[in-house]
Amino acid sequence: MGTRRTLYWTGLLIFIFLFITPALFSQESRRGVSVTITPEVIIARSPFTVSIQVDNVNPEDVSIYVPDYHENIILDRYLRFTRGTGSQIQTVTEYRYIVNTAGIITLGEFTVISPRGTVKTETIILDIRIAEDGPIIITPRLTWENVPRQTAAGERLTLVLRAEDDRPESERDRYPPPSFFMPEVPKGVILSSASISSQERENGILLKLTLIPLEPGNFILPARVLRQNDMRFEIPRLNIQVTERRR
């Protein structure tokens, strides 16, 4: 009986080690890594971007190994930068590709190595389409940056509205001026547009706001959709809790 019981527990431990433990590590390792593909509809001969976000402050701590590309996929540009504020800083790596032919193409898995461990992304399958007749509506991805969850009345904040655009920098000269994106000023705040340098504009900054809330409450800028010619701008909602003035 003792020998059978020993064999049973030995087998159970081997099962846990070989099957259950790797599954737990796999679920844990996927935390902190996300993948975004823009635009949602990929057109043949037009660029698209695969963005890999890693919850890590120092870009030097992150290594990414790309999959073997399909022969029709061309790497057009590679960028790495940090994004976020405070403890919520991410290392963002962008790969901009161009595919010359339409159809279903498998890009493969990216391997991400960081202080959290090694993570393999899901296999990326692309549905490349042919451009339809008529104008193509360009919809850059817009995000608010430097947005804290809360601030105190009387404190000054700088808020940035940035566009992630896969087109060449020369095409970004067609962006409307900052006044086009200026929202209505809610009551109880001082809100003004700050100047934007040419370098900031090339980096996708559409609007820079200086905010001074005057009283506690919630500072809210509702989501908006703006159009100009063949461009559509979907501005996300912004919400900051304003506490009592610090003494």
What is the per-residue pLDDT across 134-160, written as a single tens digit (0 to 9) for each?
556 678 888 998 888 899 999 999 999
pLDDT digits (tens, 9 = 90+) for 31-49: 689 999 988 888 888 888 9
What span, in angstroms and rounded, lies between the C-alpha atoms of 20 and 214? 55
pLDDT at position 107 is: 86
For residue 165, pLDDT over 50 is answered with yes
Instruction: Return the percent helix, strand and coil in the chain, to nearest 5.
Output: 20, 45, 35
| Higher per-residue confidence, 201 vs 131 | 201
Q: Give the right CATH number for 141-243 from 2.30.30, 1.10.12, 2.60.40, 3.40.50.
A: 2.60.40
Structure tokens at 64: 């990414």
As annotated, the residues of the chain forming the CATH 2.60.40.10 domain(s) are 34-129
Q: Which residues pair with 232 in a beta bridge?
A: 227
**pLDDT digit string, tens, across residues 87-132:** 678 999 999 888 888 888 888 899 999 988 999 999 888 888 887 6
| Architecture of the structural domain at 34-129 | Sandwich (2.60)
Q: Average pLDDT, whole number, for the chain?
A: 80
Nearest residue to 81 (alpha-carbon basis) of 112, 113, 110, 54: 54
% residues pLDDT > 90 (the chain):
30
**For residue 107, what are its two tokens?**
């890009």
Token representation of residue 189 = 């705040």
Which helix or strand (DSSP H or E) is residue 191 part of?
Answer: strand 189-193
